[in-house]
Structure 1
Amino acid sequence: MAAGHGVAVVPRDAELTTQQAAGPLDVSRPFLIGLLRAGEIEYRTVGTHRRIAMTSLHDYLGRDDQRRRDAADELTQLGQEMGLAYALR
């Protein structure tokens, strides 16, 4: 908020449409559907519509963040082993 970005408050027990769930992930709806089909995010169907629980979306974000951190740590370790120096700017 201090940086001027908007904030949305969503109850943890809310169910989102695929369009609504794609927003917080900053991905397209078709990409999100691919994640759902791959089993990356739990969802349920209501008729022909998919509904994603906010808790499922939050769980996915946590797992994805951890995967990114692990990959960065691995790259850092490999760089150190190879004797590469990194300059922080």
Structure 2
Amino acid sequence: MTPQVTLPRTQDIEAATTAQRELAAYLATGFETKLVQLVDSQGRLHPIQLPMAALQLLSEILSELADGNAVKIVPVHAELTTQEAADLLNVSRPYLVKLLETGKLAFHKTGKHRRIRFDDLMTYKQARDEASQSALDNLAAEAQELRMGYE
């Protein structure tokens, strides 16, 4: 069962903003120390070793929360349902199913259900994003050549 995703409350946004700034400042120092200390309600310190990748991910999560966005973490080895994949691509589920059925996006079946590997979805998304950016670059170049007032 996937956890319910909810938007952060005002106090969560404020706390995330402060924490993200402080964590970003720490990460900018380049120190390799990964020892973080948590303080419980009695003021006792609890040291915890964290991989640098976890601190960077935490910084990204805090940034999203500070912007008022809900956050959901998906393991990269995960297999997604068609709805989860559609949500990540910001497309409708029927459109995603068409991508699967036309072979534009790899999938496999688990019983009757289609499953998409997260890394396959991200590869497709990156290619789609690059194609979109290339098309925009071409349109901008063409507008410049035609002197359409976008200088």
Same fold (TM over 0.5): yes
Give the AA of the match of 2:100. L
State the alpha-carbon separation in 2 of the partners of residues 70 and 27 from structure 1: 20
User: Which of 3, 16, 39 is the matching residue for 2:80?
Assistant: 16
Whether 1:74 and 2:138 are equivalent positions in the alignment is yes
- Taking the aligned partners of 2:137 and 2:91, their CA distance within structure 1 comes to 25
1:55 paired residue number: 119
Which ranges in structure 2 are unaligned for 5 or more consecutive residues?
A: 1-63
Aligned with residue 37 of structure 1, among 93, 98, 101: 101
Unmatched 5+ stretches in structure 1 = none
RMSD over aligned Cα atoms: 1.2
Q: 1:4 — aligned with what?
A: 68
2:95 paired with 1:28:
no
| SS of aligned partner of 2:116 | strand
Q: CA deviation at 1:46?
A: 1.5
TM-score w.r.t. the length of structure 2 is 0.55
* Alignment-derived partner of residue 86 in structure 1: 150
Identity of aligned residues (%): 41
Note the C-alpha offset of 1:21: 1.1
Q: Which has the higher contact order (CA 8 A, sep 6+)?
A: 1
Q: Spell out structure 1 runs of 4+ moving beyond 6 A.
A: none
Q: Deviations over 1:28-87 (max 9, x none)?
A: 111100111122211111222100000011111101110110000100111111111227
TM-score normalised by L of structure 1 = 0.90
Post-superposition offset of 1:27: 1.3
CA distance in 1, matches of 2:149, 2:134: 20
Opposite residue 76 of structure 2, the aligned amino acid is R
